[in-house]
């Protein structure tokens, strides 16, 4: 028995956050590796920090959205426990 299916709009939003997180992480690494060739070191550090912080946020939001969705749909008929849910 399975619970209610997750909305396609929510699934697309979660995927978009993951894609954004990967892109931000890659851009942050690129700036760290190649940025010193065309930017001052202080600017490289700040840009890399900004990109990597956005990457962390982009990976946290899907977790939070799924957790909220599971909480909102807990107790509905046919709801099963999700084995991938974090405690």
Position 8 in a domain: no
What DSSP letter does each residue of 46-61 carry, written as one string?
A: HHHHHHHHHHHHHHHH
**Helices 8-34, 41-72: inter-axial angle, 10-degree rounding:** 160
Q: Which of the 8 DSSP states describes residue 6?
A: P
State the average pLDDT for the chain. Answer: 85
Instruction: Domain count for the chain, please give it.
Output: 1
Position 55 in a domain: yes
Position 84 in a domain: no
- Please compute the mean of the pLDDT values over residues 23-47 and round it to a whole number: 93
In Å, how far from its chain's centre is CA 44? 23
Higher pLDDT, 21 or 77: 21
Position 36 in a domain: yes
Position 7 in a domain: no
Assessment of whether the complete model's pTM goes beyond 0.85:
no
Instruction: Please name the residues in contact with 59: beta carbons below 8 A apart, sequence gap of 6 or more.
Output: 17, 18, 21
Instruction: Point out the least confidently predicted range of 8-17, 52-61, 71-80.
Output: 71-80
Residue with tokens 């426990």: 81
Q: Where in the sequence is the domain holding 46, given as residue range(s)?
A: 17-72
């Amino acid at each position: 028995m399975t619970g209610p299916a997750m909305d396609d709009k929510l699934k697309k939003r979660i995927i978009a956050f993951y894609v954004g997180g990967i892109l931000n992480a890659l851009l942050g690494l690129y700036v760290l590796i190649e940025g010193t060739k065309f930017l001052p070191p202080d600017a490289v550090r700040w840009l890399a920090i900004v990109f990597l912080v956005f990457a962390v946020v982009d990976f946290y939001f899907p977790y939070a959205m799924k957790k909220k969705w599971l909480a909102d749909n807990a107790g509905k008929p046919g709801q099963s426990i999700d084995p991938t849910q974090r405690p």
